[in-house]
Amino acid sequence: MFDYQAPENLLKDRIILVTGAGDGIGKAAAISFAKHGATVILLGRTTKKLEEVYDQIEASSGPQPAIYPMNLEGASPKDYDDLASTIEKEFGRLDGLLHNASLLGNLSPLSQYDIETWYKVMQVNLNAPFLMTQALLPLLHKSSDASVVFTSSSVGRKGRAHWGAYAISKFATEGMMQTLADEEEGIGPVRVNTINPGATRTHMRAQAYPAENPEQLPAPEEIMNVYLYLLGSDSQKVTGQAFDAQ
């Protein structure tokens, strides 16, 4: 596991948006950020799941989170502008943005890859983080220390047969991270990095590897060190880098 011990109040007074915050790694990240003092904006497509995360954070006396239901598959540029306006009105700035939501799509050779699935996966995994980052950059620039984290994958760093749009969207995500990091370096407070969570016990992993025993994998809560490191001020000036959570 990534070797970092987060101080208890690491994220005190920080405003952090997490996409796909209702389940899996995004849920664990949202709860962990709140536990370390952050006000978390829980964004996802299933309101009931977001409400459960909200309740868990409230029950553990974390700062009151906010819920922002949004389906990244159908969201338009105007939806991202509305998101930015709401955050501006409520908080005035954004200190952290964790792009975590993704779709796996189908595992099949490119020669037979379903075109509808290709568009859906690219929309959620690549276009949505681009549109959201573009809309939220002005709010990130209002922070004194802002961190953008994109979520990658092993198959986004080395190609693997049958991983199709998912793998290719993650390669593009690494490219988006490097491009944005280079643009932001030296001009302001925004650092930009990727995390590859590695094999983690979630629905997506079970969908990709149905025969695997999930109990042999770490739970999302066990891989949070690198997320905390990158969202907190200990990683100031760390930018343009590809991290592994495990």
Which residues of the chain form contacts with ligand NAP (CB under 6 A)? 20, 22-26, 44-46, 49, 71-73, 100-103, 124, 151, 153, 197, 199-200, 202-205
Of 103 and 231, nearer to ligand NAP (C-beta) is 103
Return phi, psi of residue 193, to 5°: -145, 170
**Smallest distance from ligand NAP to CB 142, Å:** 25
Of 93 and 199, nearer to ligand NAP (C-beta) is 199
**Smallest distance from ligand NAP to CB 226, Å:** 12
Q: Is the dihedral of CA 10, 12, 14, 17 positive or negative?
A: positive
Of 34 and 101, nearer to ligand NAP (C-beta) is 101
**Smallest distance from ligand NAP to CB 55, Å:** 16
Give the angle 139-145-151 at the CA atoms, nearest 5°: 75
- In sequence order, the 6+-apart residues with CB closer than 8 A to the CB of 108 are 114, 162, 164
Of the residues 166, 209, 227, 229, which is catalytic? 166
Of 44 and 62, nearer to ligand NAP (C-beta) is 44
Of 26 and 62, nearer to ligand NAP (C-beta) is 26
Distance CA 108, CA 106 (A): 6
195 beta partners: 151, 243
**Smallest distance from ligand NAP to CB 104, Å:** 7
Nearest partner of 144 among 185, 183, 184, 189, judged by Cα: 189
Return phi, psi of residue 195, to 5°: -125, 130
Q: Which residue is nearest to ligand NAP (CB)?
A: 24
Of 145 and 174, nearer to ligand NAP (C-beta) is 174
**Smallest distance from ligand NAP to CB 21, Å:** 7
DSSP string covering 126-195, please? Answer: IIHHHHHHHHHHHHHTTSSSEEEEEE--GGGTS--TT-HHHHHHHHHHHHHHHHHHHHHTTTSSEEEEEE
Q: Is 229 a catalytic residue?
A: no
Q: Do residues 28 and 222 lie in contact, with contact meaning Cβ atoms separated by under 8 Å?
A: no
**Smallest distance from ligand NAP to CB 40, Å:** 14
Residue whose structure tokens are 């977001």: 50
DSSP string covering 214-235, please? Answer: GGGSPPGGGG-HHHHHHHSGGG
Active-site annotation, residues: 166
